[in-house]
């Protein structure tokens, strides 16, 4: 008899020192279905997939393939069983062609010579069968992220994988590319491939998945048919309480210009061209201006230029009427709070305690340092305790917890608390909700709006369409280092925004070199 399930993970329990990452989790993937795995960050999705991939060994539970128990000791075993994965960060050789990447590791050779023709035929056949159009001879670094993802999918298909895992595949795509990916996934399922789709985006799950399994804090909450539930019910399963999905806010009351950027150009660290080209913009007090765009279009370099982490090639930045183009990072930070994009790289000293991180921008102030240069331990503790309390930062041992030991969400809350509490006129928030769960995102958005209502200027850099549309008062779209359009979030649609983000549409003239 043919077993109904392609892969089954039964009663999987995986422990790490101090936490149970997967507590008796069961996932059964039917043949030819798209099965979503939904959960907040830290819910145990990645751990579960690592167990399936043989990167970790579960303490309890078994894995069955086609109804037969199997042992997966390393990724090679997983590969032999026909399990393939598209990782969130692609594993491609940048200077190789699509075809070379696809056959990497499974090359057919004759007397030690590569047989590319055979491989090319197979790749072309596969791409036609599943509607995965991509030029086999294009070099990876020249093609779009969406194309790169198709290369990854073709890699799995080329290896005749039957079970395909997609780890947050839409995070880096434009709305148009997402729609295409959804179609590809449906095609794959129709052809009998079984798909595990890891995501925390409810709308995508609703659109593409047949069934969805929900994890919360390592525990298995349940599996439901997607057509039997709505988004609100799913988010309740995921978070464990009701969540407000739409942000409520009053219309903005913009005041004086706080930040004025004229013709800012910033060099790129990876290529010879400038990453930010001739960007001019203004942010007023009492408004949230959002810079939208697909990852890697110069947003990071823009932020580095504004915060002083990288020098400008040209341009002028005025903050509160003061020319800060050449100011040090510290003097800028007197007027500017900055929630950085990468909390591990820039936001926190992970090996420092929570209280030491809370004073990272203020440790030199007389409030925390005596005239002789000694740290005031009592004042630091009190200050940290107050922020921990106000921003609900949870940790094992409170103020003395090493921040490395804290969850990503709480690390982010600590940074947000630190940056919002200290004096500032401009809040520069770069992907402030990255990696946060639905409940925490709600809190961050509320904080941003509170900032705005308190008369601060807020500059939000975000890759999340929903966030861009919900939170901001004005949208500036950045494409290849230029501002290509200004949109009103109340008037625009995700589709229109997507066209701007993909560079297909622009409302501002192409930046002259003035």
Partner 1 sequence: MKQSLFKKPAVQTLLSSLICIVAGLLVGFIILTIINPSGSGQAITTIILNFITRSSGPAKLKAFGNTLAKTAPLLMCALSVCFCYKVGLFNIGAAGQYEAGACAALFMAISVGAPWYVCLLAAAAAGAVLGAISGFLKAYRNVNEVISGIMLNWITLYLTNMVLSNPAIKDPASPYTKPLSSANAKGMLPTMGLDALFANNRYVTVAVPLAVIIAILIWMILEKTRFGYELRATGFNKEASRYAGMKEKRNIIVTLAMGGALAAVGAAFLFLSGYQQWSTTQTSVPGMGFNGIAATFLGGLSPIGTIFSSFFIQSITDGGALINRSLYPAEISDLISAVIIYLCGFVLFFKTVMNGWIAKNEEKKALKAKGGNA
Buried/exposed 70-85: b ≥16 CB within 10 Å, e otherwise = eebeeeeebbebbbbb
Pairing of strands 109-110, 113-114: antiparallel
Is residue 422 part of the contact set for partner 1 (CB under 8 A)?
A: no
Is residue 374 part of the contact set for partner 1 (CB under 8 A)?
A: yes
Pairing of strands 474-479, 482-487: antiparallel
Q: How far apart are CA 55 and CA 75, in angstroms?
A: 6
Rounded least distance, CB 58 to partner 1, Å: 14
Rounded least distance, CB 365 to partner 1, Å: 10
Q: Are 21 and 31 in contact (CB under 8 A)?
A: no
Residues contacting residue 253 through CB under 8 Å, at least 6 positions apart: 286
Element (H, E) at 225: strand 219-225
Q: How far apart are CA 53 and CA 63, in angstroms?
A: 11
Stretch that binds partner 1, among 36-44, 225-233, 347-355, 497-505 (CB under 8 A): 347-355
Is residue 329 part of the contact set for partner 1 (CB under 8 A)?
A: yes
Q: Give residues 10-69 in contact with partner 1 (rule: CB under 8 A).
A: 15, 17-18
- Among positions 150, 338, 434, 452, the unique one binding partner 1 when judged by CB under 8 A: 338
Return the number of the residue (321 or 373) whose C-beta is nearest partner 1.
373
- Among positions 169, 286, 347, 481, the unique one binding partner 1 when judged by CB under 8 A: 347
Q: How far apart are CA 5 and CA 56, in angstroms?
A: 22
- Among positions 213, 274, 361, 407, the unique one binding partner 1 when judged by CB under 8 A: 361
Is residue 360 part of the contact set for partner 1 (CB under 8 A)?
A: yes
DSSP 368: T
CB atoms within 10 A of CB 475: 24
Annotate each residue in 289-328 with x if it binds partner 1 (CB under 8 A) or - if it does not, as one string. Answer: ------------------x-x------------------x
Stretch that binds partner 1, among 197-205, 248-256, 353-361, 456-464 (CB under 8 A): 353-361
Q: How far is CA 289 from CA 245, 282, 378, in A?
A: 21, 9, 39
DSSP 302: H
Rounded least distance, CB 370 to partner 1, Å: 9
Rounded least distance, CB 402 to partner 1, Å: 10
Return the number of the residue (73 or 328) whose C-beta is nearest partner 1.
328
Q: How far apart are CA 333 and CA 337, in angstroms?
A: 6
Stretch that binds partner 1, among 122-130, 355-363, 442-450, 455-463 (CB under 8 A): 355-363
Report the Cα–Cα distance between both ends of the chain, in Å, rounded.
73
For tokens 């007023």, name the residue. 284
Rounded least distance, CB 63 to partner 1, Å: 22
The count of chain residues that interact with partner 1, using the rule CB under 8 A, is 28
Rounded least distance, CB 361 to partner 1, Å: 5
Is residue 352 part of the contact set for partner 1 (CB under 8 A)?
A: yes
Give the binding site for partner 1 (CB under 8 A): 15, 17-18, 307, 309, 328-330, 333, 338, 340, 345-352, 356, 360-361, 363-364, 369, 373-375
């Amino acid at each position: 008899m043919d077993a109904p399930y392609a892969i089954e993970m039964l009663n999987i329990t995986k422990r790490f020192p101090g936490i149970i990452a997967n507590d008796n989790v069961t996932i059964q993937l039917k043949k030819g279905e798209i099965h979503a795995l939904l959960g907040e960050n830290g819910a145990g999705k990645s751990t579960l997939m690592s167990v399936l991939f043989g990167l970790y060994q579960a303490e309890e539970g078994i894995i069955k393939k086609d109804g037969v128990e199997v042992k997966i000791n390393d990724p090679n075993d997983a590969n032999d069983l026909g399990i393939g994965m598209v990782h969130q960060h692609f594993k491609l050789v940048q200077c190789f062609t699509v075809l070379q990447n696809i056959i990497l590791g499974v090359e057919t050779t004759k007397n030690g010579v590569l047989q590319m023709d055979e491989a090319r035929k197979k790749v072309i056949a596969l791409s036609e069968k599943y509607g995965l159009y991509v030029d086999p001879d294009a070099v990876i670094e020249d093609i779009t992220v969406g194309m790169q993802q198709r290369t990854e999918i073709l890699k799995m298909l080329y290896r005749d994988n039957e079970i395909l895992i997609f780890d947050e595949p839409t995070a880096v795509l434009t709305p148009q590319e997402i729609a295409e990916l959804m179609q590809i996934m449906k095609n794959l399922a129709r052809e009998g491939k079984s798909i595990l789709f890891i995501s925390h985006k409810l709308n995508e799950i609703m659109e593409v998945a047949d069934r969805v399994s929900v994890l919360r804090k390592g525990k298995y909450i349940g599996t439901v048919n997607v057509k039997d539930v709505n988004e609100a019910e799913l988010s309740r399963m995921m978070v464990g309480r009701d969540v407000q999905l739409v942000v409520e806010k009053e219309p903005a009351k913009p005041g004086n210009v706080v930040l004025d950027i004229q013709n800012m150009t910033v060099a790129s660290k990876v290529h010879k061209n400038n990453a930010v080209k001739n960007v001019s913009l203004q942010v007023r007090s009492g408004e949230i201006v959002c810079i939208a765009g697909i990852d890697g279009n110069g947003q990071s370099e823009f932020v580095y230029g504004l915060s002083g982490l990288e020098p400008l090639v040209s341009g002028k930045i005025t903050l509160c009427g003061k020319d800060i183009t050449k100011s040090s990072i510290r003097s800028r930070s007197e007027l500017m709070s900055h929630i950085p994009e990468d909390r591990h790289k820039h936001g926190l000293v992970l090996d420092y305690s929570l209280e030491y991180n809370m004073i990272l921008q203020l440790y030199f102030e007389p409030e925390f340092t005596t005239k002789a240069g000694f740290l005031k331990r009592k004042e630091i503790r009190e200050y940290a305790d107050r922020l921990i309390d106000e921003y609900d930062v949870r940790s094992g041992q409170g103020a003395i917890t090493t921040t490395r030991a804290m969850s990503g969400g709480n690390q982010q809350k600590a940074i947000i608390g630190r940056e919002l509490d200290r004096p500032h006129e401009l809040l520069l928030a770069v992907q402030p909700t990255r990696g946060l769960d639905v409940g925490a995102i709600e809190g961050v958005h509320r904080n941003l709006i509170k900032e705005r209502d308190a008369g601060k200027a807020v500059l939000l850099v975000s890759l999340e369409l929903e966030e861009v549309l919900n939170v901001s008062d004005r949208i500036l779209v950045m494409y290849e280092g230029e501002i290509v359009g200004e949109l009103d979030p109340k008037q625009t649609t995700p589709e229109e925004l997507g066209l701007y983000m993909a560079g297909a549409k622009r409302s501002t003239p192409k930046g002259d070199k003035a």
